[in-house]
Structure 1
Amino acid sequence: MDTIRDGDDDLRAGQLAADADRQARWEAQERAAAAASRDIADVPAVEVITTAAVHLMSAAAVKVGLADDPDTELDLDEARKLINALAGLITAAAPEISDMHARSLRDGLRSLQLAFREASVIEDPIGSGPGEKWTGPVT
């Protein structure tokens, strides 16, 4: 009988330790989330917008085949989606982020659009390429 009780006690102790560990991780995540919320409040909107644009731009560049291993990373369907999102963001945000920031983002977008056109086996008609709905034709 004692071995059954000892086994049950060990099981309960293990569960209590797992629960305490889970509670500690939850509390650490809550503190990190609170700190991140405070940090994001200090970041200017222009920085958040340009950071989002740079992330989209970087992801699109990889999908267009401008990264280290274009043979395995090339995915024009995904690139089209990312470039469309980037063009929409830049077009909508340009009046808010100043010409200085918008100009460099537009240049990067145009480079991606041209790289997409070059990488594509089937050419989109002028004005129908990724992002051209918002930027106009890119040639």
Structure 2
Amino acid sequence: MTVDPSTDATPTDPSASQAVRDIADVAAVEVITTAAVHLMSAAAVKCGLADEPGAADHLDLDEARKLITALAALVTTAAPDIGNQHARSLRDGLRSLQLAFREASLYPDAPGEGPGEKFTGAVS
């Protein structure tokens, strides 16, 4: 995207204008759930859950912790606005990731201290 130097803020790239129009047509619930799915996918890979040979090579629990915590914050705060139908499946995925993290960890966190548990409560 290029910026018009006379205003320092106006996009002059036609594709940027199209992108703004496209995103304007997307419901907030779709943007939120898409972001959550991206966080879930990244966290699953970092927990070593990728569906490919050598998935354990991607294991990075420090990164997974950050992603799961961000996901927990998003799901917990967005749940009232996105509705139970969407929130339920996101919570299920989040819980699965929290349990996978605990299982992959050599020294599991104390109950309530795992990734995202300050938002969700202890997961067991």
TM-score between both structures, scaled by the size of structure 1: 0.78
Q: Which amino acid aligns with 1:91?
A: T
In the aligned structure 2, how far is the partner of 1:70 from the partner of 1:124?
23
- 2:19 maps to which residue? 36
Instruction: Say whether 1:84 aligns with 2:72.
Output: no
Instruction: Say whether 1:111 aligns with 2:111.
Output: no
Q: CA RMSD in A?
A: 1.0
Cα deviation 1:3-56 (Å, max 9, x = unaligned) = xxxxxxxxxxxxxxxxxxxxxxxxxx8121111110000000000000000000
* Alignment counterpart, residue 123 of structure 1, candidates 82, 89, 108: 108
Q: Which amino acid aligns with 1:55?
A: H
Q: Does the CA contact (< 8 Å) of 2:49 and 2:56 recur in 1? A: no
Query: Max radius of gyration: which structure?
Result: 1
Instruction: Say whether 1:60 aligns with 2:62.
Output: no
Percent identity of equivalent pairs: 71
Q: Does the CA contact (< 8 Å) of 2:112 and 2:122 recur in 1? A: yes
Cα deviation 1:88-109 (Å, max 9, x = unaligned) = 0000000000000000000000
